[in-house]
């Protein structure tokens, strides 16, 4: 189930409420969501993703407990001003790095070769 920007869900990738939480963190890490920004209401998001609103509420509750978002009575749900964006960026970076490392380790590649390949691809991408 994919939606416009960054709300894609996989039905076989674990509970949906966890995935929604991960998507919020990723969007924050990428800067697609900014601290203080308003999130769609649980029902709106649920409708867009064709998932149960209670699932979205569950995800929001977890994010609120983790200090990422907050609910302002009558106004909606917002990303906290003090949301740990840096930490999430780091987390996201580490997760991607881990995925890369696991992938290339299976090819039996040494760290030096892995880094070289990464640098080459990175430099090529800049141009």
Partner 1 sequence: MLAKLDQVTKRYIKNEGVRDLTLCFPPGEVVGVLGLNGSGKSTMLKLIAGLLFPTDGRVVVFDGPPRRNRAKIVYLGETDALWPWMTPKDADRFMSGLYPDFDSGRFGELLDALEVPRRKTKTMSKGERGRLRLAMALSRDAKLYLLDEPLAGIDLISREKILSSIVREWHTDETILLSTHEVAEAEGLFERTIFLRDGRLALDAQTEDLRLQGKSVVETFKEVLA
Q: Binder to partner 1 among 3, 6, 15, 66 (CB under 8 A)?
A: 15
Please report, as residue ranges, which positions from 79 to 108 form the binding site for partner 1 (by CB under 8 A): none
Question: Residue 38 has which token pair?
Answer: 């308003």
Stretch of 10-18, 23-31, 91-99, 107-115 contacting partner 1, by CB under 8 A = 10-18
Q: Is 2 in the site for partner 1 (CB under 8 A)?
A: no
Q: Is 6 in the site for partner 1 (CB under 8 A)?
A: no
Q: Is 43 in the site for partner 1 (CB under 8 A)?
A: yes
Q: Compute CA 97 distance to the chain's CA centroid, rounded to the nearest angstrom.
A: 15
DSSP state of 84: -
Question: Residue 117 has which token pair?
Answer: 């390949």
φ, ψ for residue 66 (rounded to 5)? -85, 5
Q: Binder to partner 1 among 8, 54, 96, 111 (CB under 8 A)?
A: 54
DSSP state of 71: E
Distance CA 59, CA 54 (A): 9
Q: How far is the CB of 59 from partner 1 (least distance, A)?
A: 11
Interface residue list for partner 1 (CB under 8 A): 1, 9-17, 43, 46-55, 58
């Amino acid at each position: 189930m994919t939606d416009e920007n960054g709300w894609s869900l996989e039905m076989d990738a674990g509970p949906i409420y966890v995935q929604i939480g991960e998507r919020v963190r990723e969007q924050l890490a990428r800067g697609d969501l900014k601290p203080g920004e308003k999130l769609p209401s649980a029902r709106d998001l649920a409708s867009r993703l064709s998932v149960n609103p209670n699932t979205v509420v569950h995800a929001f509750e977890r994010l609120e407990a983790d200090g990422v978002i907050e609910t302002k009575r009558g106004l909606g749900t917002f990303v906290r001003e003090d949301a740990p964006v840096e930490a999430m960026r780091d987390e996201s970076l580490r997760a991607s790095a881990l995925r890369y490392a696991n992938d290339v380790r299976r090819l039996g590649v040494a760290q030096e070769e892995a880094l070289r390949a990464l640098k080459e691809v990175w430099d090529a991408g800049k141009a």
